[in-house]
Each structure stands twice: as C-alpha cells, then as structure tokens.
C-alpha cells in the first residue's frame, strides 16, 4: 500500500520526517485520522497528541497548536512546538504542572499559566500513552 510522507516542523526545526501508514491529529473541529490517498486538506490544530503509525511502529508526539496540511501522499504538520514522547521528562512536566496549578490558584486570569498547565498536562498524557504501549520498563538511558 502507498505510504504517507510525514513531516512535522516547528519554527525551531524539523522534529519528525518519516514514512507512515496513518496519522492521527487533533484538528480544531475534532480529531482527524489520515490514511494515504486522503483528499487535500488544510486545518488549524489544537494542542494535543499526534499519533503516527508505520507498520508496527508507533510514534506519539505532543503538539501545541499549528496547522495540518494533507496531500494524497504527504502530511505536513506545522506545529508551534512539538516533542517526541521519548524526549519528555516526566518529572519536569509534573513539576511544571504543579507550578502552573499553584499560579492559577493565586491568580485566576493568567493566560500564560493556563497555557503552561495545558502544555504540562499534555506532556504527561503523552508520556503516559508511551508507557502503556511499552510496558513499565524505564526509558533507555
């Protein structure tokens, strides 16, 4: 079967560039699953989890905001920021979440704290998915 060329780029650089069979992305109107030969599509993304599947391999990435461009043989994700699940430092994400929650407890209408909380929660979520898939073995050093 034909494959999709998947590119995930952020302003800081290319995060992911590989072939895949399937891409799941959080579009603003709802989650989108993309298979090869999909109709050309362009949509903004929410902050969320992107899942990329190729044969038996699966990649999970945390993506905050951006765009999804779909062509029949190519998927480009322009993210404001993206992180591979294996690069996420859970302890740090947990700490960041606590910090953001404390900030929010003190100062209710800080947009930055809300976004920080969203990001930290997302990171933990992605790390969690990865852990479940790979059993409970600690990440390779």
Partner 1 sequence: MPSLRDLRRRIKGVQNMRKITKAMELVAAARMRRAQERVLAARPYSDEIASIMTELMRRSPQYEHPFLKVSDVQKRLIILVTADRGLAGALNSNNTRLALSDAAKTSIPVSYVTIGRRGRDVLRRLHRDLIADQSMLGERPTMGDVLPAARVAMEQFERGEVQQIDIVYARFISVGRQQTVLQRVIPVVPPEDAKAVSADFEYEPDPKDVLDALLPRYVEAQVYRAVLENAASEQAARMIAMRNASDNASEFIEDLTLTANKVRQASITTELMEIVSGAAALEG
Q: Which spans of this chain sit near partner 1 (rule: CB under 8 A)?
A: 7, 9-14, 27-29, 39-44, 66-67, 69, 71-72, 76, 78, 80-81
12 or 109, CB closer to partner 1?
A: 12
Please report the DSSP string for 107-127 in residue order.
Answer: -TT-HHHHHHHHHHHHHHHHH
Contact indicator for 118, 65 with CB cutoff of 8 Å:
no
Please tell me whether residue 133 adopts helix, strand or coil conformation.
Answer: helix
Q: Token pair for residue 47?
A: 């902050």
The distance of closest approach from Cβ of residue 138 to partner 1 in the complex, given in angstroms and rounded to an integer, is 29
The distance of closest approach from Cβ of residue 140 to partner 1 in the complex, given in angstroms and rounded to an integer, is 25
The distance of closest approach from Cβ of residue 109 to partner 1 in the complex, given in angstroms and rounded to an integer, is 18
20 or 66, CB closer to partner 1?
A: 66
73 or 89, CB closer to partner 1?
A: 73
- Spatial distance between the Cα atoms of 33 and 22, rounded to a whole number of angstroms: 7
- C-alpha closest to that of 64 among 78, 76, 48: 48
The distance of closest approach from Cβ of residue 136 to partner 1 in the complex, given in angstroms and rounded to an integer, is 33
């Amino acid at each position: 079967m034909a494959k999709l060329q998947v590119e995930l780029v952020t302003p800081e650089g290319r995060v992911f560039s590989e072939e895949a069979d399937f891409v799941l992305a959080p579009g603003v109107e709802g989650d989108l699953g993309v298979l090869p030969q999909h109709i050309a599509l362009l949509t903004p993304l929410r902050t969320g989890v992107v899942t990329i599947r190729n044969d038996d391999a699966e990649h999970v990435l945390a993506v905050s905001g951006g765009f999804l461009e779909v062509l029949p043989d190519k998927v480009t994700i322009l993210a404001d920021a993206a992180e591979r699940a294996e690069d996420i430092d859970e302890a740090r994400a947990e700490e960041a979440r606590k910090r953001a929650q404390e900030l929010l407890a003190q100062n209710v209408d800080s947009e930055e704290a809300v976004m920080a909380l969203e990001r930290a929660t997302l990171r933990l979520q992605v790390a969690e998915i990865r852990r479940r898939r790979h059993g409970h073995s600690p990440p390779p050093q």
